[in-house]
Structure formats: structure tokens, C-alpha cells
Amino acid sequence: MSKTKRLIALLIAVFLTLGILAGCSNDAGKVEENEEQVESLSEETGEEQLDEEQKFVYSSASEITGLNPLLNTTGPDNGLHSIVLETLVAKVADEEGKQIIKPAAAEDWTISEDGLVYTFNIREDAVWSDGVPVTAHDFVYTFRQMATPEVGSTNAWLFDGVIENFTEALYEGTKSPEEIGVRAIDDKTVEFTLVKPYGYFLELLDGAKPIRQDKWEEWGGEYGSSIDKAIFNGPFIVKEWQPNVQMTLVKNENYWDAENVKLQKIERKVIKDTATAAQALLNGEIDVLSTNDADWKGVISEDDRFNLITQPGNAPEFLGFNCANKYFKNPKIRLAFSLAIDREKYNQDLENGESIPLYSLMPPITNVGDELYSERVNGENEIIKELMEKYPDPKELLIEGLKEEGFDPDPSKMEVRLATRGTGEYSKKAAEWFLQEWEEKLGVRITIDMMEWNIMWDKVDQGDYDICTSGWGPYYNDPNALLEIYHPTDGYFNSTKSGWTGPDAEKFAELLEQASLSPDNKERAELLLEAEKILVGTGVIAPTYVGTANTFLAKYVKGFYTNPHAQIDYTKIYTVGRP
């Protein structure tokens, strides 16, 4: 399978994950420290006593499709599976909202010096919900099933071109699933051999929740179809399931860290309507709600029973220029359109001040390894700001580009179309905003092509556009997850769609390749920055903003930390003072 097809699968996954409540927890050391403080406070003042009934109630707008982690991988599925199934590591966040990777079914791991071999040591006390030990063979079997074409694993594309022989087994048929680079050294040690030193490999493992061979063979196609056809190794198990109404989870007493899990019960309610969910929060029927609805945000904010958690999203919005277009094949013309956008003003006018203007393709929560990308490159990724200083008058830049291409230097003579990603009120207002901005700053009068998102993507596939409104939700937390979509041959926006060819495109691809070969995250960050400076710095795309997520949390809920790149860590949640 080519990377292009893999990225199309990613696009589908992105749409399926829209609206998912993501979250995380602090690391183990800080948890213990916080718990000691709570217990101390309880003894000294009697004010902070854990509730006798430890439960957490949340809602989702969608029902899950099933409990089979190889086939049921929509956003709602992934959120639920992270509570009842545990892979080798877990993506969580600290109190500052930074994502970290923590040990899960594996107590620790080692990475070879060349970054190609990962060896995981599975906990001796890790067992399934029926008491059967979790072994290295479970993970070997899981990955072999993912690499078996007949299984149709929907997350298998994550490891295409990543694990040795995985592509050859799954898509090419030149290797068997038994030949992929996953093997059990012994019952409690599993080893992965990679094609390249992918610095984000640990992140990908979140998409490979384990199955158990004996149950897979016993239940066949019914695996995960009902509670009695499911087996779990996570901190909770499913006790009751009323489809489209509620799922009730209870603590897994066989879980390796059960003694430190405070919650006894989790209720997952299906509430499709925002107003109904908001009322449920206000009525004390659920404990948390994520909403960007301005009206409900105002109502709930006035209620002092809730804390508001606001955090940047991970999916940047941007404009894509068709570099095969007679105008936009010129970098100066592309840049002029990008630099003419007042991103702060867009935020105020269109986003009510609640988004984050982007001067880099990367949202501020993007990591390289265990550090923020922006910190690793010392803030040098804010490429648009540097260019705004260099070219204070984008109209002059535009006129230079027009002259270079032999066009009339009068920008008003240009004929440019902007394709919208939707026909709703927001899409209309945003398009009109760009029209006015470019007319005032550049003297260009564009034509707005209103179209539904699927029609726009079809147009992009055909290269039939001048400028398109776009965005992307990365599956893993690394700059490569966003940069690779513009790889000229393997990216979703490849040269056929973006029209981007020539030395810059070739250099961009070369830098991504160099970064993929480096096991050093500092070096990777610098190479990815250089690639971003080509992509954004030559105006192939114009980053605009990233949205923020607003989560209202009942004040009696503790140990709840969020990051859009990670799932909620329910093992750390507890309640104090529930009414």
C-alpha cells in the first residue's frame, strides 16, 4: 500500500474522530505526590474526603460500533477501548497538558542505538480480566492478525512501511504475517524491528490494542460483538451495554494496578444533542462536557460548580494553493496571499477570539519526542512572522511575482477562485472575510466557489482549484504527521493535487527522508523545521488557525487532565464532594 493510500485512510480516520473528548493524566511520580497531599489534607482538616461511591459519568454523541480492537476503530470506539484494553504504552498528559508516554502493559522498554529495534518487558502481574496472564505472544498474535489481509484490520495502515515486512505481508503478499518484525523473545518480552528509526513509533502503538488468540479462534467473527464475546486487560471491564443508551464499566479487579485505581464505576451515556448534554451536566447527570457552542458556554460558565478547561486543538486549518495554477506557480504570489492575512483579526472576527492564530503549520501542542517542537527549535517555526517582517507590504511582493510571470502588474486584473470546504454560514462568512482582506491588502477581487466538503476534496483530487480551504487532523503527535501530507509523491496533497514540483518540492521530500532516518529527536526537529520553512516559507500553504477545545468539568472531579493527542487516563480520576 502506498503512503498516499495510507493517508487517505488517515483522512477517513480524522473525520471519524471529530468531536471526540480526549484527555490525559499526570505522570506516576506526581500522582503519588498529589495523593499524599490529599490524604494529608484529609487527616488535618477533614475537608477533602474521597466520596464513598467513586464513579465518573460522561457522554458521547455516538455509540461505539463494537469491542473488536482490530475492526472497530472509529473515534468513539478508540475512546472506549482505551479504558478496557491496554497496549504496551499509554499516551497521557501531565498537569500542564503536555503529552507524555507512560508504561502500560509493558513496565519498561529499550530502544537500540540505531532506533530500529524496540524491546518491551511486559509486567509479570499483567493479566486478562479472566486471570490469564498477558504475554508477549498476545502482542505477536495481534500484529500478525493486523498484517493478515483477510482480517481487514482498519488500523493496520498505521504500520505500513514502519514494521519490517509488514507492508510485504499485508499489501504485497510477498511475505507471510509470521515474517513481520514482531517476535516474542520469551513469554514476557516482545521485540519490534522497524524499517526506519521512526521517532513516533511509541505513539503508533496506541492504535494496536491486543486481542487474545484462544478467544479470537473461539469466537471468530463475533469477537467483540457483545459483552460475552469480549475479553479485557485494561483497568475497567464492560458490565452492561444498552446500545444507544448507556454502557456501564466497573473496575477490573485483576488489573495489575487495581489497588491504585480509585473509580469503581464509569458510566458512558449516549447523548446526541448538545442542548440535552448541556442540561444533563447542569442537572448533575454527567460530570463533564466538551462544547464550543457559544450560548451554552455562556450559560455553564455562570455556574460556579464547574471548571472550564480550554486547550489548543491539534488539527491546523490552512489554505492550500494550486502550484500548477498560472499565478500560484510563483512563490512570491503565493506568499503575498499568505502574508496579507491578518490572523489575529480572523480570530476575533470569525472565531470570537477563541482560536489560536497560526504562524507555523504546527499547533503549539505538537511534540518531537517528549518535548514540544517549538521548544526544540527555539521558536524558529513561526515562519510567517519572520516573513511579515521581511515583506511588510505583501502587495509589492505580489506585483513582483506578476511581473516575473509576464502578467499585467495590476492585481485587479487577476482571476482567482477560492473553494470552500462547506456551504454553511461559517464557510460563507470566512470566504467573504478572505475576499475583503485580499481586496484591501492586495487589490485582488477573488471569486468564491461555495461547495460541500466532499465536492471540494474531489476538486482537489483533480487539481481543479486555485485556492482551497483545508485542514488536517494528525493521527500521531509529531510534525511529520502534518508535513508528510504534502510529500510530492506519497502525500495526500501530492504533486498531482497540489501542483507542487521542482527543486523546492524535491528538497522538501529529501528532508523528510533524512528526518525519518534519524534516531535523534533534536536532529529530527531541525530537519523538520527546515522542511517546514520550505512548505510554509514558499507559500505552498498558508496556515491560518487552530481551534480550541472547551471542556466543562464538575469541581468534585479530580485527577482529570486533557490533551487532544491523548485519551483520558481514567486510572487517575476520583471524586471528592459529589452532591
| Distances from the Cα of 140 to the Cα of 147, 183, 423, 461, 489, angstroms | 11, 6, 47, 38, 32
Domain 312-548: state its class.
alpha beta
3-state DSSP call for residue 102? strand
* Cα 181 to Cα 143, 339, 526, distances in angstroms: 9, 47, 29
Neighbours of 497 (CB within 10 A): 25
Q: Which three cell numbers stand for residue 168?
A: 510485504
> pLDDT tens track of the chain, all 579 residues?
444 444 434 443 433 333 333 333 223 233 333 333 334 334 433 456 999 999 999 999 999 999 999 999 988 999 999 999 999 999 887 777 778 899 999 999 999 999 999 999 999 999 999 999 999 999 999 999 999 999 999 999 999 999 999 999 999 999 999 999 999 999 999 999 999 999 999 999 999 999 999 999 999 999 999 999 999 999 999 999 999 999 999 999 999 999 999 999 999 999 999 999 999 999 999 999 999 888 999 999 999 999 999 989 999 999 999 999 999 999 999 999 999 999 999 999 999 898 999 999 999 999 999 899 999 999 999 999 999 999 999 999 999 999 999 999 999 999 999 999 999 999 999 999 999 999 999 999 999 999 998 899 899 999 999 999 999 999 899 999 999 999 999 999 999 999 999 999 999 999 999 999 999 999 999 999 999 999 999 999 999 999 998 999 999 999 998 899 988 899 999 999 999
Separation of alpha carbons 121 and 508, rounded Å: 38
Report residue 529 as a C-alpha cell: 523545521
**Bridge partners of residue 288, in order along the sequence:** 553
The reported pLDDT for the residue numbered 294 is 86
Residue with cell string 486478562: 128
Give Cα separations from 118 to 111, 121, 205 (angstroms). 5, 10, 12
390 vs 393: CA distance, rounded Å: 9
List, in order, residues 6 or more apart from 420 with CB less than 8 Å away.
Answer: 427, 428, 430, 431, 448, 449, 450, 451, 456, 469
Residue 47 confidence (pLDDT): 53
* Grid cell of 311 as nine digits: 486547550
d(CA 274, CA 518): 45
Determine the CATH number of domain 3-305+555-575.
Answer: 3.40.190.10
Burial (Cβ within 10 Å: 0-12, 13-18, ≥19) of residue 259:
exposed
In the three-class reduction of DSSP (H, G, I as helix; E, B as strand; rest coil), residue 535 is classed as helix
Question: What pLDDT score was predicted for residue 98?
Answer: 79
Residue written as grid cell 486481542:
211
Question: Residue 71 corresponds to which cell in the numbers above?
Answer: 475492526
453 and 317 Cβ atoms separated by less than 8 Å: no
Domain ranges of the chain: 3-305+555-575, 312-548
What residues have CB less than 8 Å from 435, skipping those under 6 apart? 418, 445, 446, 448
Contact criterion met (CB below 8 Å) for 157 and 107? no
